[in-house]
């Protein structure tokens, strides 16, 4: 890095970057040198799956809104949504997207949904519904514990319909209950998303992962 010992008396010599021992003031040329040397850590690793946002339930929600304040839609076109939730009499989770930070939700009857689910250990049911106001029943309505993982694609790319698909597995104290759900809407540019679910315990989380090409 550039020796700054003779620059600006209050800055001092070149800074050092070490694990647990950072000192000095980093200027633009210092950061550029570190990036070129592969030694600058920004908290985000290109082409790797990164945790970009965590939502922690307070226990009083009926909706979880993710807007441009939380996730920049111009950076991430694919989201991986992972939930680890529990609660008493949780409702099934539904999903809608928006083009205007949820001032309005997209096309009230423009969602389709495909669903395969089990309510007991021995039976599966399949259904497909079009012209919905949301992608519904993405998680089972249970009292107990539930985990889910969904991929949301084409959030900002309007060349083809956006799509959400994934699974949820819940345990109600006696049986494991499952959801395999997918849904889509038209060719839209989304910038925000709403998950609707009630009676989730405080401390439960929804985490959002994505990646950015180098």
Confidence band, pLDDT 50/70/90 cuts, at residue 17? low
Exposed, middle or buried by CB within 10 Å (0-12, 13-18, 19+), for 183?
A: buried
Task: Compute the distance between CA of residue 58 and CA of residue 194 in angstroms, rounded to an integer.
Answer: 16
Task: Compute the distance between CA of residue 179 and CA of residue 173 in angstroms, rounded to an integer.
Answer: 17
Alpha helix ranges (H) inside the chain: 28-36
Cβ–Cβ < 8 Å for 207, 51: yes
Residue 73's pLDDT is 82
Residue 142's pLDDT is 93
Exposed, middle or buried by CB within 10 Å (0-12, 13-18, 19+), for 131?
A: exposed
User: pLDDT for 41-98, tens place per residue?
Assistant: 566 777 788 999 999 999 999 999 999 999 988 888 889 999 999 999 999 999 998 8
112-169-146 Cα angle (round to 5)? 105
Mean pLDDT of 131-135: 86
Please tell me which of 6-10, 88-92, 210-214 the model is most confident about, judged by mean pLDDT. Answer: 88-92
Cβ–Cβ < 8 Å for 200, 57: yes
Task: Compute the distance between CA of residue 31 and CA of residue 24 in angstroms, rounded to an integer.
Answer: 12
CATH number of this structure's domain 50-210, picked from the four choices 2.40.128, 1.20.120, 2.60.120, 1.10.3470? 2.60.120
192, 199, 175, 121 alpha-carbon torsion, rounded to 10°: -40
Domain residue extents for the chain = 1-41, 50-210
Is the overall model pTM greater than 0.85, yes or no?
no
User: pLDDT for 143-202, tens place per residue?
Assistant: 999 999 999 987 766 677 788 999 999 998 888 899 999 988 877 788 899 999 999 999
Confidence band, pLDDT 50/70/90 cuts, at residue 108? low
Confidence band, pLDDT 50/70/90 cuts, at residue 14? low
Number of H helices, E strands in the chain: 1, 11
């Amino acid at each position: 890095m550039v020796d700054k010992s003779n620059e600006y008396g209050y800055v001092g010599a070149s800074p050092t970057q070490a694990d647990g021992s950072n000192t000095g003031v980093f200027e633009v040329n210092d950061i550029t040198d570190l990036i070129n040397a592969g030694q600058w850590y920004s908290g985000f690793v290109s082409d790797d799956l990164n945790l970009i946002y965590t939502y922690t339930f307070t226990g009083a929600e009926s909706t979880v809104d993710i807007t441009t304040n939380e996730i920049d839609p111009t950076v991430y076109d694919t989201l991986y949504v992972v939930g680890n939730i529990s609660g008493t009499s949780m409702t099934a989770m539904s999903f809608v997207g928006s083009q205007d930070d949820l001032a309005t939700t997209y096309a009230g009857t423009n969602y389709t949904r495909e669903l395969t689910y089990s309510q007991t250990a021995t039976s599966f049911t399949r259904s497909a519904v079009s012209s919905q106001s949301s992608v519904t029943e993405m998680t089972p309505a249970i009292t107990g514990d539930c985990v889910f993982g969904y991929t949301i694609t084409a959030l900002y790319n309007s060349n083809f319909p956006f799509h959400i698909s994934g699974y949820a597995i819940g345990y109600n104290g006696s049986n494991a209950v499952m959801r395999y759900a997918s849904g889509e809407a038209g060719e839209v540019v989304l910038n925000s998303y709403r998950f609707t679910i009630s009676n989730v315990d405080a401390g439960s989380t929804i985490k959002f992962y994505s990646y950015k090409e180098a």
